[in-house]
Amino acid sequence: MKYDRENLIDKLIEHEGMVLTVYQDTLGIDTIGIGRNLEDRGISQEELDDLDIPNMDVIYEYGITETDAVYLAQNDVQIVEDELLRAHPCVDR
C-alpha cells in the first residue's frame, strides 16, 4: 500500500490522543496507547514479549511507554491493512 504509515500514526495521535495508562473509552472499554482496545483485541503474548512486559497485570498497574504505544498502533494498522487487502485485493496497486 502506498502511504506514509508514520504520518498516519502521527495523525491518529493528533486525533485520538495517546494515553499510556489503562483507561475506559467513551463506551466503557478498557483501552491503552493510541486506542488499543484491551477487551476485544487485547495484547498478544508475542506483543508482550516484544515489549519485554511479562503479563497484562503489569500493563494495568504501570502502563506502557510512548514507544510501546506506537508499536501497538503500527500492529493495529498492519492488521487493518491485511484485512483490507483480503477483502479488496485491488487496493494493493
pLDDT grade for 89, boundaries at 50, 70 and 90 = confident
pLDDT tens digits, 5-17 = 999 999 999 999 9
Handedness of CA 64, 51, 37, 59 (dihedral sign): negative
- What value does the mean pLDDT take over residues 30-50? 97
CB-based contact 34:9 (threshold 8 Å): yes
SS3 36: strand
* pLDDT exceeds cutoff 70 at 40: yes
Once rounded to an integer, what is the mean pLDDT over residues 47-63? 98
Helix (H) or strand (E) holding 51: helix 45-51
Residue 32's pLDDT band, with cuts at 50, 70 and 90, is very high
